[in-house]
Structure 1
Amino acid sequence: MITPRKIADNYREMISSIGFYPSMLSVLFLTFALITTAVEYSDPAMSVKKVLSVLLVDSEENARTILSTLAGSIISLTVFSFSMVMVVLNSASASLSPRVLPGLITRKSHQLVLGFYLGSIIYTILMLINIRTIGNGNMGIPSLGIFISLVLGLISLGFFVYFIHSISRAIQVDNVLNDLFKNTKSELNSIKAMQHEHPVDDFPNFDDWYSIKSKTEGYFKGAHSDKLCAICKEHDIKIYISVKQGFFTVKGYPFLKCDTDLTDKPELIDELLACFIFYIEEYVSDHYRYGMTQISEIAVKAMSPGINDPGTAVKAIDMLSILLILRLDIYDVNYSLKQCDDNHPKLFLHETSFDELLHDNFTPIRNYAKNDAYVMVNVLEAFKNILFRASDNEKATKSLFIYLGAIIEDIDTHISNEYDREQITNMLKAIARISEQQGEKLLARFTSNNQ
């Protein structure tokens, strides 16, 4: 039995399907075709036909030929367009990252074009079967409907040109990276703006709160914050989500904390747990971390022997450095102001820390590019830029230098060319000018191994 809760749980799966909008548009065009058929021979429609008489078909043979040609042509466009989508998805998975596929599939522009094709086919076929004898041997020709079918066919040709242009751009790595960067940056800026506009001066001590265990397993991807905050306000409780988005939970894992002991309120616990979302796909709109992960994976894929595109890897590294700089301005604990009074939030969220982002996004790049001096020099330059902006953040600076130590260890082991090591030494000198004490230690550690 389909329940509202089940529909809500499967909402993301439904709207991310490549057939969602085409199905909706097909139903819409079917309804439009039935309405057109119903009013075809009404007095207002006959008046319109007199005005457009020079554009209307008055022959049964011509009507069938035109409608059959339109239906067959649009079917061909649809088949070719769907084939192009499959080619793009396979190419994106092979040359970019499988994680970017959900973003490509859910592009509304592509789904709307495919939906318009299907709707036009349905409309044209209904007009074709509506040619019938109406009495005294006369044929009833839905000339107004045929004219609309012809217009839909012409629009489909325009959409086909747009679709080819759009789908060819969608697979270009620069466009994929730029879209990911723009969307991830927008998510970071929205969190930053909210926290700066409504700052929280003092966060509770979550260690003293009561744990609530998960009753399902899967990747935690978010919560219905409106509903969750409303429940918190109704029962006068506060909730802290103690795991980051994307964390894999198992049954019994205490991923929630509450300031009130709810052990004797199992129904309230079930109501709270029903607000959380678990699914596989990663969408940038859910959390900026997913966008950064996809950018990092594109950089790693670019360094693979089959692709060998260090330029793309360097561009991805530069984007990651900018996003990490933006992350410095965000609290380590995020919160929602929905249903709250006087900037006292009732829902707190564990924000992915700067250390976690640094490790998760640069470790794969470091491991796959440690033999490439060009890429590693640009990694050091990215860290130099982050250090420049993080100079007043002692915790972040410490994390950066700890990670730089790991980078230098890899470089020292895998890069032996004297010229390449000199370029790395120059970059370390630039880092030392930003943070003299720690930078000099790092430089001394590397240069001592040169001797």
Structure 2
Amino acid sequence: MFTPRKVADRYRDLISSIGFYPSLLSILFLVFAFLSISLEFNPHVIELKSSMQFMLLDTPDNARTLLSILIGSTISLTVFSFSMVMIVLNQASSALSPRVIPGLITRKSHQLVLGVYLGSIIYATVMLINIKTGQSVEGDIPSLGILFALLFGLICLALFVYFIHSISKAIQVDNVLNELFQNTLTEIKALYTRQDRQATPDIPDFEQWFTLCSDKAGYFKGVDTKKLCVILKQNEIQLFIAVKQGYFTVEGYPFLKCSKDLSAQEALKNQILNCFVFYIEEFISDHYRYGLTQISEIAVKAMSPGINDPGTAVKAIDMLSILIIERLGLEDINYSYSDSDDADPLLFIHETSLMELMHDNFTPIRHYAKSDAYVMANVLEAFKNIIFVANKKSNELATIYAYLNSIIIDIDTHTDNPFDRQEIADMINAIKKINPKIAQTALSHFEV
């Protein structure tokens, strides 16, 4: 039985598949091929063909030869292009992070190129099977359709050049990092836009609310906010999502808090739970935190012995610092209304806290790079920039200093060279000058 959640899951699997747009375009080309055949011998089309006779083939042998060449050549382009995609995905997984794969697979430009290839093959094949021996231009040769097949072949050649250029850029780490950074930054700014548009409401005491448990196991990735708010408004209830996005829940886990007890309303509970989305892939469009995670994992991968690319790690650290700075002004609780007339929010969403973001993204870096003085010095530089911006936000500043202290402890334990320790000490002193009062109590003493 297909429930709304299962339909939504199937739809998401479909549109995130590498074959979605190629399949769609193949169907469109097939329809266009049948339409071309059906209109080929319309009196108006015949009159049009008579005026452009110099562009049309005059014998069935020439038409059959041309279409055979087009089909064979386009199949070769398709095979090569699909092979290139697989190579790129394999290299991205091994050299960058497996989590960037969904973003590369769903890149629409590559799917559209492959779709045009497949559609051109289908179109030319339909034209080929409609050529019969002994026909001529005055007979039933679909000469106009063959002209379209030739044009599609030329378009495929142009797309092939674009595809080679695009696929060669897709694997470059700088381009991958920049795309992740820009997409993550866009999602953070979108949250600012939503929070600025609404007056900050009074946050209820969620501890007094009733728990609502998950009915399935999986990674919580999102919620259909609009649909859920309509349900909540109709039943005059409020809901709080107590776990952060990406959290793995088992069946029966209490991940929701409800303002009313729904234990006796099984149908309403199912309606609410069907609005929540569980799947494996991590798309930045679901939450900006996934972008931070992917950038962090690229930094960790760059520090592995097989790659040994500290420059990429430093660039990723700098991007993380900018994104953390952008995150500073966000509230820890997001909220949604059914419409602008609602006095109180219907849905409260647990936003990933600053400490959670720093722990999830900088802890792997400081663990795998703790013996690299160059990288750790840049981590301290990144936190100096974060602290400089957060200096007027005392709560956030105390949180940042608390996490920074754990980094300094790791550096102190794993850095022995006197020159490196002096560089680290200079950086720590620069950080302390930003807010000496908090730094004096929050940071451990670091001796050269």
TM-score of the superposition, structure 2-length normalised?
0.97
**Worse overlay, 211-220 or 384-393:** 384-393
Per-residue deviation at 1:438?
Answer: 3.4
Distance 1:118 1:339 in 2: 45
Aligned partner of 2:172 in structure 1 is: 172
Aligned partner of 1:335 in structure 2 is: 335
Aligned partner of 1:13 in structure 2 is: 13
Alignment: residue pair count: 448
Q: Is the 8 A contact 2:60 2:133 kept in 1?
A: no
Aligned partner of 2:250 in structure 1 is: 250
Per-residue deviation at 1:29?
Answer: 0.6
Distance 1:40 1:5 in 2: 46
1:291-370 to 2 correspondences below 5 Å: 291-342=291-342, 344-370=344-370
Distance 1:89 1:318 in 2: 25
Per-residue deviation at 1:211?
Answer: 0.9
Aligned partner of 1:413 in structure 2 is: 413
**Worse overlay, 389-398 or 131-140:** 131-140
1:140-155 to 2 correspondences below 5 Å: 140-155=140-155
Q: Is the 8 A contact 2:135 2:141 kept in 1?
A: no
Q: Is the 8 A contact 2:209 2:260 kept in 1?
A: yes
Pick closer, same or farther for the CA change 1:443–1:284 going to 2, 3 Å. Answer: closer
Per-residue deviation at 1:305?
Answer: 0.9
Pick closer, same or farther for the CA change 1:135–1:409 going to 2, 3 Å. Answer: closer
Distance 2:260 2:386 in 1: 41
Per-residue deviation at 1:233?
Answer: 1.6
Q: Gaps (5+ residues) in structure 2? A: none
Pick closer, same or farther for the CA change 1:286–1:84 going to 2, 3 Å. Answer: same
Pick closer, same or farther for the CA change 1:322–1:207 going to 2, 3 Å. Answer: same
Q: Gaps (5+ residues) in structure 1? A: none
Per-residue deviation at 1:336?
Answer: 2.0
Distance 2:52 2:426 in 1: 77
Q: Deviations over 1:240-284 (max 9, x none)?
A: 111100000111111111111112211000011111110000000
Q: Deviations over 1:74-102 (max 9, x none)?
A: 00000000000000000000000000000
Q: Give the SS at the match of 1:183.
A: helix
Aligned partner of 2:186 in structure 1 is: 186
Q: Is the 8 A contact 1:177 1:316 kept in 2?
A: yes
Aligned partner of 1:237 in structure 2 is: 237
1:93-242 to 2 correspondences below 5 Å: 93-132=93-132, 140-242=140-242
Q: Is the 8 A contact 2:401 2:443 kept in 1?
A: no
The one-letter code of the counterpart of 1:308 is N
Per-residue deviation at 1:340?
Answer: 4.9
The one-letter code of the counterpart of 1:282 is E
The one-letter code of the counterpart of 1:370 is K
Q: Is the 8 A contact 1:133 1:139 kept in 2?
A: no
Q: Deviations over 1:384-435 (max 9, x none)?
A: 1111111122222122222122111111111111111111111011101101
Q: Is the 8 A contact 2:317 2:379 kept in 1?
A: yes
Pick closer, same or farther for the CA change 1:268–1:205 going to 2, 3 Å. Answer: same
Pick closer, same or farther for the CA change 1:60–1:137 going to 2, 3 Å. Answer: closer
Per-residue deviation at 1:439?
Answer: 2.7
Give the share of equivalent positions with the same residue, in percent: 59
Per-residue deviation at 1:4?
Answer: 5.5
Aligned partner of 1:259 in structure 2 is: 259
TM-score of the superposition, structure 1-length normalised?
0.96
Pick closer, same or farther for the CA change 1:349–1:443 going to 2, 3 Å. Answer: closer
Aligned partner of 2:62 in structure 1 is: 62
The one-letter code of the counterpart of 1:41 is F
Distance 1:346 1:2 in 2: 28
Aligned partner of 1:74 in structure 2 is: 74
**Worse overlay, 377-386 or 138-147:** 138-147
Distance 1:202 1:236 in 2: 17
Per-residue deviation at 1:348?
Answer: 1.2
Q: Give the SS at the match of 2:334.
A: strand
Q: CA RMSD in A?
A: 1.7
Q: Deviations over 1:280-314 (max 9, x none)?
A: 00000000000000000000000111111111111
Per-residue deviation at 1:337?
Answer: 3.2
**Worse overlay, 130-139 or 192-201:** 130-139
